[in-house]
């Protein structure tokens, strides 16, 4: 326990066996995960994977049909005011009242948060270069995303939840603003949960990555661990091969003839003997990007074998 009575070992978010159906569609399928305090937790997955549905459970906007959700140790559906006051949230849709000007919207929003910091809100307005006199409906999509981010941040939340925060932001703004914001929050010991399609962005800022596919967790692990436990291997054979070798741990192959490359689960020391047994030799070995791991994990054997 800290002096403030916060148990720092207790996860900020805990989901246990959460299943959510919309009619016949299973949006979340027995999802269990734990988000420790002070980490940047990146949630990745293709369209429809269940990311927003998971975030809505964390915010208490959806009630778990089975299983349990705990945020700061509380049930967000039973105690929405207590939980939401500690969360900053930027939604994918980023619905804002178009008729208000930024300072009006800031005044309106501050009423919901006892810990709102006026000085910080004004500092963010300057950093984000948001004009005071323009109605929100006349701002660009990127500027509106920055207004949403300002309001999510200005009460210095313990947990920042960002659902696809990059939509509408150009690459410069993403790198300079969003990533700086995410790192600052984490450096201050607060927690960030964010979902994104942009795997290079997730890779740059996340401590922990969770991949959802069709409502199920494919993996959830510290980024370092995830990268250390995968290799991209290029294997060469003396005689041309019609098919890639049967290598335990290989998730997806591409190549042709003498040379084949695979993203593999495992370490080189475990994989090399199996490559040798298949008659090949490893000619290149590197750490794959998160994007490559994601594609290999999600599409796996469905990745077409390129015939050359
Ligand atoms: N209110 C709803 N009614 C019916 N189906 C829904 C509802 N909300 C989500 N779904 C379905 O549940 C699945 C998961 O949706 P969700 O929005 O959580 O995915 P996502 O990973 O956030 O996708 P995206 O990246 O496109 O935002 C999808 O098939 C979606 O169509």
Instruction: Tell me the domain boundaries of the chain.
Output: 13-226, 229-302
The tokens describing 152, both together, are: 């999510």
Q: Determine the pLDDT at residue 50.
A: 94
Q: Determine the pLDDT at residue 127.
A: 87
Going by C-alpha positions, the residue among 204, 213, 274, 279 that lies closest to residue 240 is: 279
Q: Which one of 28, 45, 46, 51 would you pick to mutate in the ligand 1 pocket, going by the greatest count of ligand atoms within 8 A of its CB?
A: 51
Residue 188 confidence class, pLDDT cut points 50, 70, 90: confident
Residues 18-46, mean pLDDT to the nearest whole number: 94
CA atoms lying within 13 Å on the CB side of residue 164: 16
Residue 200 has phi, psi (to 5 degrees) of: -65, -35
| pLDDT above 60 (res 26) | yes
Alpha carbons 235 and 187: distance in angstroms, whole number? 41
| pLDDT above 50 (res 5) | no
Q: Which one of 52, 90, 162 would you pick to mutate in the ligand 1 pocket, going by the greatest count of ligand atoms within 8 A of its CB?
A: 52
Centre of ligand 1 to C-alpha 240, Å, is 45
Residue 304 confidence class, pLDDT cut points 50, 70, 90: very low
ipTM of the complex: 0.97
The pLDDT tens digits of the residues spanning 231-247 come to 999 999 999 988 888 88
The tokens describing 303, both together, are: 């990745």
Q: Ligand 1 — pocket residues by CB below 6 A?
A: 22, 25, 27, 45, 47-53, 92
The pLDDT tens digits of the residues spanning 200-243 come to 888 888 999 999 999 999 989 999 999 889 999 999 999 998 88
- Which numeric CATH code is attached to 13-226? 3.40.50.300
Using DSSP, state whether 74 is helix, strand or coil. strand
**This prediction's pTM:** 0.87
- Range 229-302 classified under CATH 1.10.3470: no
Q: Determine the pLDDT at residue 300.
A: 67
């Amino acid at each position: 326990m800290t002096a403030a009575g916060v148990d720092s070992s207790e996860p900020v978010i805990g989901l246990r066996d959460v299943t959510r159906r919309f009619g016949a569609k299973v949006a979340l399928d027995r999802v269990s995960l734990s988000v420790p305090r002070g980490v940047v937790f990146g949630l990745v997955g293709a369209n429809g994977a269940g990311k927003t549905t998971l975030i809505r459970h964390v915010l208490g906007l959806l009630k778990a049909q089975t299983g349990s959700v705990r945020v700061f140790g509380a049930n967000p559906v039973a105690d929405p005011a207590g939980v939401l006051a500690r969360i900053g949230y930027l939604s994918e849709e980023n619905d804002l009242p178009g008729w208000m000007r930024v300072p009006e919207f800031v005044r309106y929003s501050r009423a919901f948060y006892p810990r709102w910091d006026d000085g910080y809100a004004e500092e963010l307005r300057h950093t984000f270069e948001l004009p005071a006199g323009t109605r929100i409906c006349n701002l660009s999509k990127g500027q509106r995303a920055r207004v949403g981010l300002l309001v999510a941040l200005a009460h210095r939340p313990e947990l920042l939840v960002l659902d696809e925060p990059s939509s509408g932001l150009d690459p410069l703004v993403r790198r300079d603003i969003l990533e700086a914001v995410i790192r600052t929050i984490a450096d201050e010991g607060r927690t960030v949960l964010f979902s994104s399609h942009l795997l290079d962005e997730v890779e740059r800022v996340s401590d922990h990555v969770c991949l959802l596919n069709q409502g199920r967790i494919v993996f959830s692990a510290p980024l370092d661990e995830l990268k250390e436990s995968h290799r991209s291997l290029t294997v060469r054979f003396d005689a041309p091969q019609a098919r890639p070798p049967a290598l335990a741990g290989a998730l997806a192959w591409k190549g042709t003839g003498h040379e084949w490359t695979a993203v593999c689960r495992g370490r080189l020391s475990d994989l090399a003997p199996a490559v040798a047994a298949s008659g090949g030799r490893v000619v290149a070995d590197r750490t794959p990007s998160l994007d490559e791991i994601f594609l290999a994990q999600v599409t796996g054997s469905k990745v077409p074998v390129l015939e050359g």
